[in-house]
Amino acid sequence: MPQRITVSAEQAGRLVAEQFPQWAALPVTAVENAGWDNWTFHLGDDMLLRLPSAEEYALAVEKEHRWLPELAPSLPLPIPVPLAKGGPGAGYPFAWSVYRWIDGTPATFESVVDPIRFAEDLADFVAALQSIDASEGPQPGKHNWFRGATLWTYEAQAHSALDELRGHIDDALAREIWTQALEAQWDGVDVWFHGDLAPGNLLLTDGQLSAVIDFGTCGVGDPGCDLAIAWTLLSAAGRDAFRKRLAVDDATWSRGRGWALWKTLVSCANSLDEDDAEAVNARRVLAEILTEQR
């Protein structure tokens, strides 16, 4: 686990004043539920600051500034495009970014108004992203926790979680799904992927998909990782619509299910005795994955 640092609104304000004096008079306030990889702050009414919370997360800053301005014009929904890049200062050690604020509320299973339309809109976004020339894009690596690479990267972690969950879930079925995912072959053709199509990174307006944010794990490679959202957020009917819209073959679908299973197994193993919303949702997702396989 990366060694995270703490950043206060006051410290973020000093960074802005030192490096972007034109914005020094704007208030800096923390964003609620801002995620893990970055400390996020409102800058005035229509901008935000993203300050990586650890050295590993800071690796994405250069990539985001290089690629997001090129990706945005080809996508059917708004994505973050950097306005400015800051550097170390005010006791903060990493590069950081200023973005335009994008309105919307994070998606949840309950807040999506029309599950089929949502799934199709998301599929259209993924298809548009995959259609962009990937020949010079960033390959999987530490900058994105090896999204777009092989699931074998997480083999030990998945089996450790399965061992923890033995007796609590149908671990034989879960192992079968995991093995199928590992064995499903990728054709080796690089395409762009987001890398973390999680509910918190999909914004809704009036219950409809309106923006996709947080491209810190984006890159080019195997697109299977972007299919995990089919199980972590979509309904069964939405999942079918998502797959049909994208015309996903069996092997890629199996790898996508493997990405969803890995993440969910780890979440369930880490929350065996908990009943908060995150733990309950992880168990719901695992049930979806196992039920579909049955």
CATH code, domain carrying 87: 3.30.200.20
- In a domain, residue 3? The reply is no
Residue 45: its pLDDT value, please? Answer: 97
Residue 34: its pLDDT value, please? Answer: 78
Please state, as a whole number, how many other Cβ atoms lie within 10 Å of the Cβ of residue 192.
Answer: 27
Tell me the pLDDT of the chain averaged across its residues. Answer: 97
Least Cα distance to 26 among 10, 45, 41 occurs for 45
Contacting residues for 197 by C-beta, under 8 A, at least 6 apart: 122, 126, 212, 226, 228, 229
- Number of folded domains that form the chain: 2
Give the pLDDT confidence of 196-222 residue by residue, as tens digits: 999 999 999 999 999 999 999 999 999
Q: Let me know if 25 is exposed, middle or buried by CB neighbors in 10 A (0-12, 13-18, 19+).
A: exposed
Q: How much of the chain, in percent, has pLDDT values that exceed 70?
A: 100
Provide the whole-model pTM.
Answer: 0.96
Q: Is the pLDDT of residue 41 over 80?
A: yes
Q: Is the pLDDT of residue 177 over 90?
A: yes
Q: Which tokens is 61 given? A: 């800053």
Average pLDDT over residues 88-103: 98
Give the pLDDT confidence of 252-269 residue by residue, as tens digits: 999 999 999 999 999 999
Same domain, 77 and 146: no
What band does 178 get if pLDDT is binned at 50, 70 and 90?
very high
Same domain, 214 and 159: yes
Q: Is the pLDDT of residue 35 over 90?
A: no
What band does 79 get if pLDDT is binned at 50, 70 and 90?
very high
Residue 158 is which amino acid? A
Range of the domain at 48: 9-100
Give the pLDDT confidence of 129-167 residue by residue, as tens digits: 999 999 999 999 999 999 999 999 999 999 999 999 999
Domain end among 55, 73, 100: 100
Same domain, 152 and 38: no
Same domain, 126 and 75: no
Least Cα distance to 287 among 231, 247, 241 occurs for 231
What band does 294 get if pLDDT is binned at 50, 70 and 90?
confident
- In a domain, residue 53? The reply is yes
Please state, as a whole number, how many other Cβ atoms lie within 10 Å of the Cβ of residue 142.
Answer: 10
